[in-house]
Amino acid sequence: MTEKKPIRKDRVLLALLVLVAVILIPILLSSGGSTPTSQTTATTTDPTDAATGLIDVIPLTGSPTDGETTTPGTPSTGDGLPSEETTTETPVTEPTTAAGVLTHVVTQGETFAQIASQMGVATEQIMADNNLVSVGEITAGMTLYASSDGIVHVIKSGQTLTDISITYGVSIDKIARANGITDPGRIFAGQRILIPGATTNLWQAVVRLSHGQNTRFIWSLEGEITSPFGWRIHPVLGTRHHHNGIDIDVPVGTMVRAAAPGKVQLTSEDPEGYGTMLVLQHADGYLTIYGHLSGILVANGQYVEVGQPIAESGNTGLSTGPHLHFEIRNGEFPVDPQRYLPS
């Protein structure tokens, strides 16, 4: 009979310790090695998340940013104007100037007449080609542009060659040929082009309606203000209400011009209020509203230049007589137009 030897407890305990060590050591090594990877990932992704968050909260309002290109597409409506969906924007680092456009850098003490004589053009031409409303705007070091063959025009963001053609009454093909534009659907904001055969008439109207002052808006036409901005008794309804614009007394059919460059946001009929009306959208969220019109000369989505004819005054809607109702709105809030117009 074999004698059973007692099991030694110290050996059992040692075996258990070895088993635990075999199981835990790989786990500890694995988790310890993964910690730096996790920290590295967090450090790498945080800036991306932060940047995305910043982009999301930046408000995008008004017209496209200056210094971008515009690629008009095929017109989507019967009016021959490209739809906004066909316009793409790409940053432009350096504006270009059409061949044949004269340049002159103003030196200290030069007069406007001397500059015009050196460039071989009239002073009115230099003002129109450089969007100057007074000769006092020139300063030493300024580069002036001019042409005796037409008008020098700087392309605006959101403006198409179709818009420019309508503004000056010059065909797209003629503008493209004069500027070596092979693809009329690809023009650049900030690019300086020549509008062949265009006259200074449009800019002369701007100079007249600006009163020679460089202000945010110009007068759309000339006439007496018969009802200012603010509270009044409604001339038709006889109730007290806030007049959101100014009324300018002019005969039916008087030409109404754009108070600032921008896009036609709305043309509408409001028989119980504004009558035939037009709304322009400008940079920085501003709107101008033209009411009681007899006719509209532009189409929705069209980009118009300051001073460009856009409508004819009338006596439509809720009106006591022929006049133009004119409003300026900063976003949705009406402001007193006389604070923004030249005195």
Task: Read off the pLDDT of residues 74-91 as tens digits, 9 standing for 90 and up.
Answer: 333 333 333 333 333 444
User: What's the chain's length in residues?
Assistant: 343
User: Cβ distance 307 to 223 under 8 Å?
Assistant: no
pLDDT tier for residue 99 given thresholds of 50, 70 and 90: confident
Nearest Cα neighbor of 181 from 164, 198, 157 is 164
- Once rounded to an integer, what is the mean pLDDT over residues 270-277? 93
Residue 91, Ramachandran bin (φ over 0: left; ψ between -120 and 50: alpha; else beta):
beta
Q: Give the percent of the chain with pLDDT over 90.
A: 66
Nearest Cα neighbor of 153 from 71, 261, 265 is 261
- Round the average pLDDT of the chain to a whole number and report it: 80
Cβ neighbours of residue 185 under 8 Å, at least 6 residues apart? Answer: 71, 72, 73, 161
pLDDT of residue 1: 47
Cβ neighbours of residue 265 under 8 Å, at least 6 residues apart? Answer: 279, 280, 281, 287, 300
pLDDT of residue 24: 59
Of the ranges 10-19, 92-101, 166-175, which is most confident? Answer: 166-175
Read off the pLDDT of residues 280-310 as tens digits, 9 standing for 90 and up: 999 989 999 999 999 999 999 999 999 999 9
Q: Is the pTM of this model over 0.85?
A: no
CA-to-CA distance for 39 and 37, rounded, in angstroms?
A: 5
Domains along the sequence of the chain with CATH: 69-210 (3.10.350.10), 224-339 (2.70.70.10)
- Once rounded to an integer, what is the mean pLDDT over residues 263-269? 97
